[in-house]
Amino acid sequence: MKNIKKYINNERGSQAIEFLAMFPLIILAILIIWQICLIAFSLVVAESAARDGARAAAIHDSNWKQVAIKSASGLKVNVTGGPGSEEAHVFIEVEAPIVKLPLISEIEFSYTVDAVMPMEEESDGD
């Protein structure tokens, strides 16, 4: 009976068990933070690409779509819009990178950013 009480009151190893219980939650928190950082990064890159594309369209560059796509390198984008009579309006639809988790089905997160620039007068090619 004395031996059983000794084992019941023994707390050796309890920290390891507590760590094992908390470890999955710590990993999940890190993955959520990483996902938020990926979305924020892709948003900043997409906004910059939209501005670059709108600026290229505003100065009558015929390759304004390629400018926007190159500026958003590494992201899956769809570029629309373009030069108008008074302003260049470029829309970029972005599919944000997603952290793949084994127990969660396919998740997609996409958004659209845009930029507007006033059209510059076309030069005569002096």
Q: What is the pLDDT of residues 8-66, one digit of tens each?
A: 666 777 788 888 889 999 998 998 899 899 999 999 999 999 999 999 999 988 999 99
pLDDT at 71: 92
Question: Residue type for 95, please?
Answer: E
Closest among 76, 80, 79 to 109, alpha carbons compared: 76
pLDDT-derived band at 113, boundaries 50, 70, 90: very high
- For residue 73, the model assigns a pLDDT of 87
At 70-105, the pLDDT tens digits run: 999 889 999 999 898 899 999 999 998 888 877 666
- Judge if pTM exceeds 0.85: no
**How far, in Å, CA of 119 to CA of 81, rounded?**
14
Instruction: Report how far residue 56's alpha carbon sits from residue 71's, in angstroms, rounded to the nearest whole number.
Output: 11
Nearest to 64 by CA among 119, 106, 21, 111: 119
Residue 72 CB coordination number (10 Å): 23
Question: H or E stretch including 92?
Answer: strand 87-95
